[in-house]
C-alpha cells in the first residue's frame, strides 16, 4: 500500500486542511484524487517528513518505528498515534497500525543521528510551552525562550528555539503562537480575554518551580492537591460522597477555581452533593473551605502564583524567586531585563516564596 492509498481513505476536508498546514491551498472544487496526490508528494518530502516526525511524542515515534520495521504492530490507545495518523504516516488497522511502503522508504533516508538530535530539541520544547500556558495562560515568545533556556541550561541557541516554534502549528497542541505570544488554546474561544489577562498580569513575576514540578503542568488536566484541597474533600465526604463521585466533584471544583470562579459562583453551581444539608453552619463551613482552597490555587492572572503567595510577597515586599542557583551576572529568567543578581538573585529562599510561608531557614 502506498501513502496515496492511505490518504484516499481520509475525509476530503481533512486532506485539504493538511495541505493548508503545509503551505498549499487548493480550490474547494479540486478533485479528491488531486488533493491526495499533492499531499502524498509533500508528505514524502524528506524535510517535511523530518519536521512532522520530530513533533511526534516519544511513544508515537516508537510505534511508528516499530511499524516501519514490521508489517503491523499493535497499539493500546488510538490517542498514542493521533498526530502521525493525521498525516497518514500510520494507518490504524485491526487493532494495530501499519506504515505504507513508500513511507518506510522515505524514512530510511532520514533515520539518522542528525534526525534524532533535531527531534530531541523539539519534544522538550513542546512540553515546556504546554506547561507555561497551563500555568500562565499567556507568555511572550521572548520570555518563553528565556525560561526554556533557563530550565534546560541554555544549551539551545535562541534562533534554533524560534525555528522550532515556527513549525509547531503542524502538531495539535494545547497552545498556539500568535503575534509574539504563546497562548492557551482556550483563549481562542474569547480572544478579547487575552488583553484583559495581560493587563491583570501586569509586571507580576512568573511562578518558577523546580524543573520536575513545572513539567507536571504540561498535562492540561493536572492540578495540585493542596492541604486545602484535602480539607474540602474530607468535609464533603462526611455527607456520604465517596469514590469516583467524590473525585469527579473535587475535579469540578478544582477546574472552576483554576478558571478563577468566585466562591459565590461555586455555591451557585449545582455541585450535586448528595446528602448535603444546607444548614447555615454547613453552608458557612463550605464557603470557608472553598475560600481557603481558592486562595491556594494557581491562577493565570497571578502568572502561576496563588493568591496566598501574592499576598505573602506583598507583605514581605520580597523579590522574585528562582528554583535553583544560576550565574548571578546572567539575565534574570523572570524577563525583567535586569541581571539576576540585581533582580531575583537578591532573594529569600524559593521554598518560602512558593508556599507563601515564612522561610524555615530564617
Nearest CA-CA partner of 236 in 291, 280, 290 = 290
- Checking 210-218 for CB contacts under 8 A at 24+ apart, the result is 210/323, 210/324, 210/350, 211/151, 211/323, 214/128, 214/131, 214/135, 214/151, 215/127, 215/128, 215/131, 216/131, 217/130, 217/131, 217/134, 217/135, 218/126, 218/127, 218/128, 218/130, 218/131, 218/134
Q: What are the tens digits of pLDDT across the range 179-224?
A: 889 999 999 888 888 999 999 999 899 999 998 899 999 999 999 9
Alpha-carbon span 102 to 245, nearest angstrom: 50
Burial of 347 (0-12, 13-18, 19+ CB in 10 A): middle
**Per residue in 253-285, pLDDT tens?**
999 999 898 888 887 765 556 666 677 888 889
Average confidence (pLDDT) over 286-303:
94
CATH of 116-212, one of 1.10.10, 1.20.1050, 2.20.25, 3.30.1490: 1.10.10
pLDDT digits (tens, 9 = 90+) for 66-107: 989 987 788 777 777 888 888 999 988 767 888 999 999 999
Predicted local confidence at residue 226, as pLDDT? 95
- For residue 251, the tally of other CB atoms under 10 A from its CB is 12
- Give the residue extent of every domain in the chain: 3-108, 116-212, 227-294, 311-355
Amino acid at each position: 500500500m502506498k501513502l496515496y492509498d492511505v490518504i484516499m481513505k481520509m475525509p476530503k476536508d481533512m486532506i485539504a486542511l493538511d495541505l493548508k498546514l503545509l503551505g498549499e491551498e487548493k480550490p474547494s472544487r479540486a478533485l479528491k484524487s488531486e488533493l491526495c496526490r499533492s499531499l502524498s508528494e509533500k508528505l514524502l518530502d524528506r524535510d517535511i517528513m523530518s519536521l512532522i516526525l520530530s513533533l511526534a511524542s516519544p511513544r508515537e515515534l516508537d510505534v511508528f518505528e516499530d511499524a516501519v520495521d514490521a508489517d503491523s504492530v499493535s497499539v493500546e490507545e488510538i490517542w498514542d498515534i493521533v498526530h502521525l495518523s493525521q498525516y497518514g504516516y500510520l494507518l490504524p488497522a485491526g487493532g494495530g497500525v501499519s506504515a505504507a511502503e513508500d513511507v518506510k522508504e522515505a524514512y530510511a533516508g532520514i533515520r539518522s543521528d542528525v534526525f534524532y538530535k533535531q527531534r530531541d530539541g523539539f519534544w522538550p520544547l513542546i512540553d515546556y510551552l504546554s506547561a507555561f500556558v497551563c500555568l500562565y495562560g499567556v507568555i511572550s515568545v521572548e520570555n518563553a525562550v528565556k525560561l526554556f533556556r533557563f530550565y534546560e541550561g541554555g544549551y539551545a541557541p535562541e534562533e534554533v528555539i524560534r525555528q522550532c516554534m515556527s513549525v509547531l502549528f503542524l502538531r495539535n497542541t494545547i497552545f498556539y503562537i500568535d503575534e509574539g505570544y504563546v497562548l492557551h488554546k482556550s483563549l481562542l474561544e474569547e480572544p478579547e480575554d487575552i488583553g484583559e489577562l495581560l493587563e491583570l498580569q501586569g509586571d507580576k513575576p512568573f511562578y518558577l518551580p523546580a524543573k520536575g514540578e513545572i513539567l507536571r503542568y504540561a498535562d492540561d488536566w493536572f492540578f495540585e492537591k493542596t492541604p486545602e484541597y484535602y480539607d474540602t474533600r474530607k468535609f464533603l465526604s462526611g455527607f456520604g460522597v465517596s469514590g469516583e463521585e467524590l473525585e469527579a466533584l473535587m475535579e469540578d471544583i478544582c477546574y472552576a477555581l483554576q478558571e478563577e470562579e468566585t466562591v459565590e459562583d461555586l455555591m451557585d453551581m449545582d455541585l450535586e452533593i448528595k446528602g448535603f444539608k444546607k444548614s447555615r453552619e454547613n453552608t458557612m463551613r463550605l464557603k470557608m473551605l472553598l475560600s481557603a482552597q481558592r486562595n491556594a490555587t494557581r491562577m493565570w492572572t497571578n502568572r502561576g502564583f496563588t493568591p496566598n503567595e501574592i499576598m505573602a510577597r506583598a507583605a514581605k515586599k520580597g523579590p522574585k524567586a528562582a528554583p535553583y542557583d544560576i550565574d548571578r551576572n546572567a539575565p534574570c529568567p523572570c524577563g525583567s531585563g535586569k541581571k539576576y543578581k540585581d533582580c531575583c538573585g537578591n532573594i529569600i529562599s524559593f521554598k518560602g516564596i512558593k508556599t507563601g510561608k515564612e522561610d524555615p531557614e530564617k
